[in-house]
Structure 1
């Protein structure tokens, strides 16, 4: 580790990445910024949409269940997340993904009891899109969860078909855009934690889950950092 690496480690571990003020040791962000994030306190067990009643499942999932079996998103897609994700998806400010991944892993593991039969998978990008952006944000989330949980990682899910970006598309366009974009290469795990960044209509997660289940997966938890009340 050289001097530059030491400086980066000290900077990342002493100051909050959102407000640049000192933060508590071991916390991804300071307590003030953490308390100001909008929590998805009560959510549907199947699709993670915010609930306003005591039901465990939303009416939409009762009528038509998603392809994945359960879902969890600790945050709502509200300030400051929209502006941060806009920067990230423009290939700027990817450092914010570190605290996001830490928070996602901590929140998920504190609320879910998992066994070692689960394997973590990321929603893949098309190779050209990943080269243009320079990284896949969901891969960073996957690595953080793997480090904290000790679970394995699978990269059997691929996206060989280039599609339009989901941002800016209407609901019907999102569903049409992701009919058959994902394929599986090799053996898939029976139990999967499938990670994406934002859960909006569920079109991406459903399309990926469909490919995995056709290939042999039995149980899929859709895990995202935040949920939009779409």
Structure 2
């Protein structure tokens, strides 16, 4: 059984010059398996809601999505590399549709947020930037929140940042030194939706490695490059 599957798709075509949404697409998707209680609590999307309002995930659903994606110069997502992009790519592949070759930007990693901004969770980021998303974890409202945050930053710099090389680094610490890893921003086992078993990990850009090594009182191991 798949642990991640699509229950809702939301797209917003956004004009960066005017900082305004200009076209919307939102659809609830009937999955082939039951929605978990944890997911219902997280999103509010239940089996009953999908039974009444959902559409099958098929070529008729995906073609309008592809059409809107093709209108954009960039596709923007929050944690898109690990979540949105694999899911939508799998859906397109399932029905032998060619996914648009449009480049992707990721507001979780490609924006240089101010140093006092302590989290890249979208709900936290909304609050930090003075916004409240009334329907958190719903597709279109999350997209609007994300794009409104993006509009506060230099889009040219974000595009440049999207070309950076990334590393997943492990803090080589024992149980008694775990607080040192936490203080440096390492997380136990998880980066985004990917799990690294029984270790403290952190995602950094390649050009941040030397500074991090110099600031840590423990050794680092590079687990992944991308």
Question: What TM-score range do you get, normalising by the shorter chain?
Answer: 0.3 to 0.5
Choose between structure 1 and 2: higher strand proportion. Answer: 2
**Structure index of larger Rg:** 2
Higher relative contact order (CA 8 A, sep 6+): 1
| TM-score, structure 2 as length reference | 0.33
